[in-house]
Amino acid sequence: MNDYTGKVVALTGAGSGLGKEVADRFGAHGAKLSLVDYNEERIKTTEREFKEKGYDVIVFAFDCTDLDKVQEWARTTFLKYGHVDFLFNNVGITSPGRLWNIPLSDWKRTFDINVFAMVNGIHAFMPYFATTDREIHICNTASDAGLSINGLFAPYNASKSAVVSVSESLAFQCQTYYPHIKTHVWCPGASPTDICYGREQDLVDKSDPYYSSGEFRELDKILKDGIAAGYPVSEAIDGFFEEFEKDYFYIRPAKHEDHLIQYKIDRILDKQRPVPVHLR
């Protein structure tokens, strides 16, 4: 990895999973960290662990769907450190099911977190980024699900496709208006993290009968088993930094999932419907 001494990283979804691991790697290589997670206990634990390692870190606990809170985070970070070199819009949740049975509140919450929290981050930080000529990187976390076809997780796939599309638009526009801002979209692939457990905390109405249905339990198990069987987090992070430091736009370390993306490309070019897999 490169030496990031003096660089400042602002990152959401930092209390666990891939976000925490990316922050840990940056901290270990000299970066200063401004980290967000909606779970206060989790982000405080991360802060404690990182400070024990000697990292320069500040943490915030709030929901990134709240633009006012995201803007306050941006202001506080710039007041503390004077600049930001890397912005990671990383928060995300998922939800399985037959798309007509998934509660509309779950659809909305998935898009609010996966898409609009990213847009909030861009809105909050761009006014600062636009006033400097130092090189800046914005990295939005999507998924190979945003580049492929999977019928089990319609809200997640749709929202991650939106993240890819927004990131592509951001890349076009930054090259036109602010060429010092480099953009990336990170599609990690399946890796054993907490992403499929967010629903079980406080993100949805757990009293909705859908969440006690056989359909939900069956598909939720498929999701969790698939995540648990993914490639190791350490490999995902190694692959991320290898491609990030090569300035790739589509950061896709999960090469074993290439066939899933090729399948979608082939279906598009052949104008054919996707073939159902693991659906009843």
Q: Is 7 left (phi over 0), alpha (psi -120 to 50) or beta?
A: beta
The pLDDT value recorded for residue 93 is 84
Least confident of 6-10, 14-18, 103-107, 199-203: 199-203
Residue environment code for 170-191, b if the CB has 16+ CB neighbours within 10 A, otherwise e: bbeebeeebeebbbbbbbbbbb
The predicted-structure confidence for 18-72, as pLDDT tens digits, reads as follows 999 999 999 999 999 999 999 999 999 999 999 999 999 999 999 999 999 999 9
pTM of the entire predicted model: 0.91
Q: Are 133 and 82 in contact (CB under 8 A)?
A: no
Residue 224 burial (10 A CB sphere; 0-12, 13-18, 19+): middle
Q: Provide the percentage of residues in the chain whose pLDDT is more than 90.
A: 68
The pLDDT value recorded for residue 216 is 81
The pLDDT value recorded for residue 162 is 98
Count Cβ atoms below 10 Å from residue 36 Cβ, excluding itself: 28
Residue 123: pLDDT band (50, 70, 90) is very high
Q: Are 35 and 23 in contact (CB under 8 A)?
A: yes
The pLDDT value recorded for residue 213 is 86
Across residues 3-14, what is the average pLDDT? 97
The pLDDT value recorded for residue 279 is 42
The CA–CA distances, whole Å, from 217 to 22, 70, 211, 214, 280 equal 31, 34, 7, 5, 14
Q: Taking Cα atoms as reference points, which of 133, 12, 148 lies closest to residue 77?
A: 12
The dihedrals phi and psi of 58, each to the nearest 5 degrees, come to -125, 145
Q: What size, in residues, is the chain? A: 280
Q: Where are the beta strands (DSSP E) in 158-265?
A: 181-186, 250-251
The predicted-structure confidence for 81-103, as pLDDT tens digits, reads as follows 999 999 999 998 887 788 898 88
Q: How far apart are the C-alpha atoms of 61 and 40, rounded to whole Å?
A: 5
The pLDDT value recorded for residue 277 is 58
Q: How far apart are the C-alpha atoms of 125 and 117, rounded to whole Å?
A: 12
Q: Are 89 and 159 in contact (CB under 8 A)?
A: no
Residue 203: pLDDT band (50, 70, 90) is very low
Q: List helix spans (H) across 56-100.
A: 67-81
The predicted-structure confidence for 180-199, as pLDDT tens digits, reads as follows 999 999 998 765 566 555 54
The predicted-structure confidence for 135-192, as pLDDT tens digits, reads as follows 999 999 999 989 998 877 899 899 999 999 999 999 999 999 999 999 999 998 765 5
Q: Are 273 and 57 in contact (CB under 8 A)?
A: no
